[in-house]
Amino acid sequence: MDPFGNQAEDALAEAVRRLGRPGFEAALMQLFHRLAAPDNLLVLAYRDAGPPQVLYVQSGDSPVFDALPTTYLAGAYLLDPFHDLHLSRAPAGMYRLLDVAPDAFQRSRYYLEYYQETTLIDELTYVAYPAPGVSLNLCLGRDRTSGQTFAPREVEAVARLAPVVLALAERHWAGLTATDAAPEDVAGGLVAALAPRGISLSPRQAEVALLILRGHSSTSIALRLGVSVQTVKVFRRQLYGKCGISSQAELFALLLPLLKPGAQGRA
């Protein structure tokens, strides 16, 4: 079946008519339904400093966005694979979470204690750049509502329409601006936040801690940092020893509250 049938074409035409006006997001969701029938849609704007801005949310009765304000926006976004795409200035396009997540993502505490609880099982995300320093994520999700991942033909349909969706999104949200704040030094913030607790981490140890929490294996961390796997294991032992912990679950419990804005100033 041609994913660009009459219904999809009509939905695209309506999105174009609504561009820059109320109802654009809803029209875009109708287009996505014709292409891939997502269970939910989340539009976020990432900047180099501060939590992302939520521009649009639509979901069914799933708890998919219940913890968005209390956990994700409060600091957990710093562990998200799509936030990492923003930091690396990934090219505009369509990305699937399964393809961009770290190799041990589904074993990470971020996944087990936050992402899995949302009931999300698959995500296709358009990454656009409507303004310098701002990346726009249009996240099409599948959750427990359907209980199914996106089929190959649906992924292909969403990817084929990427140039059009990106152009529409960049025009509709062209008024977004970057913050004047300096880019966040997350690893440095953890070092500063832990110091009053008597925990003295080096910047590299804090960086390894964040990579662990994001779902990178020792091999992945070694490749990312340009060091040997054995060196990463040494950093991990030092990190756990200084923090007085023995598991990633304890590391997550210790560090997640410190990712929240303003946490650096609290002992």
pLDDT in tens, the chain (267 residues): 355 567 888 999 999 999 999 999 999 999 999 999 999 999 999 999 899 999 999 998 779 999 999 999 999 999 999 999 999 999 999 999 999 999 999 999 999 999 999 999 999 999 999 999 999 999 999 999 999 999 999 999 999 999 999 999 999 999 999 887 778 889 999 999 999 999 999 999 999 999 999 999 999 999 999 999 999 999 999 999 999 999 999 999 999 999 876 554 443
Cα(116)–Cα(56) distance, rounded to whole angstroms? Answer: 22
CA distance 47 to 183: 8
DSSP-derived 3-state class of residue 143: coil
Does the residue 181 lie in any domain?
A: no
Q: What are the phi and psi torsion angles at 178 (to 5°)?
A: -75, 160
Residue 243 to residue 132: CA distance in whole angstroms = 38
My answer on whether 154 and 191 are in the same domain is no
Name the DSSP class of 65.
T
Domain end position, chosen among 149, 172, 195: 172
Q: Which amino acid is at 18?
A: R
**Look-up of token digits 């490749």:** 223
| Residues 166, 195 share a domain | no
What whole-number distance in Å separates Cα of residue 52 and Cα of residue 54?
Answer: 6
What are the phi and psi torsion angles at 22 (to 5°)? -60, 140
- Alpha carbon distance 228, 141 (integer Å): 36
Let me know whether 113 and 14 are in one domain.
yes
Radius of gyration of the chain (CA): 20
Cβ(54)–Cβ(25) under 8 Å?
no
pLDDT at 7: 82
Q: Report the DSSP pairing between strands 134-142 and 93-96.
A: unpaired
Q: What is the CATH number of the domain that holds 39?
A: 3.30.450.80
Q: How many separate domains does the chain show?
A: 2
Q: Are residues 149 and 197 in the same domain?
A: no
Note whether residue 180 is domain-resident.
Answer: no
Please report whether residue 239 resides in a domain.
yes
Q: Report H helices in the chain.
A: 6-17, 24-36, 81-87, 97-100, 109-110, 152-160, 162-172, 186-194, 203-214, 218-225, 229-243, 248-255
User: What is the extent of the structural domain holding 27?
Assistant: 6-172
**What does DSSP assign to residue 116?**
G
Residue 1 resides in a domain: no
Q: Does 149 share its domain with 65?
A: yes
